[in-house]
Amino acid sequence: MKKIRFTINGEVRECEVEDDERLLDLIREDLDLRGTKEGCGQGECGACTVLLDGKPVVSCLTLAVKVNGREVTTIEGVSKKGKLHPVQEAFIEKGAVQCGFCTPGMVMALVPFLSENKDPAREEVRKAIEGNLCRCTGYEKIVDAAIYASKKMREVER
């Protein structure tokens, strides 16, 4: 067992974790944050995507001990004061959610991408979500939602 101290969704937490525990299990089982999903468990589907120091990583291949002293953001942490993030709103408004299993991972890949790329082309959005599989939507509506979200985010900034 190892003791780790890290920030999750803005809150500092101390936890005891197994040496070889995955960040995914720390998040879902120990912290009971069930928004992050496990799909393949091999880095290929992106359903388990979270932000580590602001960058998207797959939590299924990340050891929990690695986040000691660092900052983790999960899907539960992207809405602010009960208000959904513009990316989440755009997913709903553009019908980019079908079964919803891929959605948290998609949102976590898009949030940092769209904050760095204010006016992305569709091709760039596709590349940003190349590590996220969706078995339902055929991706078009997800790309629509991302483009729409970028517009919303530009308006918020103005």
Partner 1 sequence: MSIRVEIPNTLSELWELLSYEGARIIAGGTDLMVRIRAKVEKPSLLVDIVRLPEFRLFENREDIFSIGATLTHAELLKKDLPGVLHDAISTIGSPQIRNMGTIGGNICNASPAGDSILPLYLYDANVVLLSKNGERRVPIGEFIKGPGKIDFRKGEALLKIVFTNKYKDYKYIFKKIGKRVAMTISVVSMGLIFKLENDIIKDIKIAYGAVSPTVVRIREAEEYLKGKPIEDKVLEEAKSIIQKNISPIDDIRATGEYRREVAGNLIFLLKDAYGKL
Ligand X SMILES: Cc1cc2nc3c(=O)[nH]c(=O)nc-3n(C[C@H](O)[C@H](O)[C@H](O)COP(=O)(O)OP(=O)(O)OC[C@H]3O[C@@H](n4cnc5c(N)ncnc54)[C@H](O)[C@@H]3O)c2cc1C
Distances (CA, A) of 31 to 42, 64, 110, 123: 22, 12, 24, 36
Whose structure tokens read 């998609």? 106
Given a contact cutoff of 8 angstroms between Cβ atoms, the answer to whether 105 and 41 are in contact is no
- The beta-strand segments (E) located in the chain are 2-8, 11-17, 49-52, 55-58, 71-73
- Phi/psi region, residue 34 (left: phi>0; alpha: psi -120 to 50; beta: rest), is alpha
Smallest gap from Cβ 78 to partner 1, in A, equals 16
Closest to 104 in 3D by CA, of 53, 59, 62, 47: 47
- When the beta carbons of 3 and 127 are compared against ligand FES, the nearer one is 127
- When the beta carbons of 30 and 41 are compared against ligand FES, the nearer one is 41
Q: Which residues bind ligand FES (CB under 6 A)?
A: 38-41, 43-48, 58, 60, 97-102, 134-137
- Residue 65 site contact among ligand FES, ligand X, partner 1, none (CB < 5 to 8 Å, cut-off depends on kind): partner 1
Smallest gap from Cβ 18 to partner 1, in A, equals 7
Q: Residue 155, CB half-sphere, CA atoms under 13 Å: how many?
A: 8
Smallest gap from Cβ 100 to partner 1, in A, equals 20
- When the beta carbons of 21 and 144 are compared against ligand X, the nearer one is 21
Q: Which residues bind ligand X (CB under 6 A)?
A: 43-44
- When the beta carbons of 62 and 74 are compared against partner 1, the nearer one is 62
Q: Which residues bind partner 1 (CB under 8 A)?
A: 2, 18-20, 22, 41-44, 46, 49, 52, 55-58, 60-63, 65-66, 68, 109, 113, 126-128, 130-132
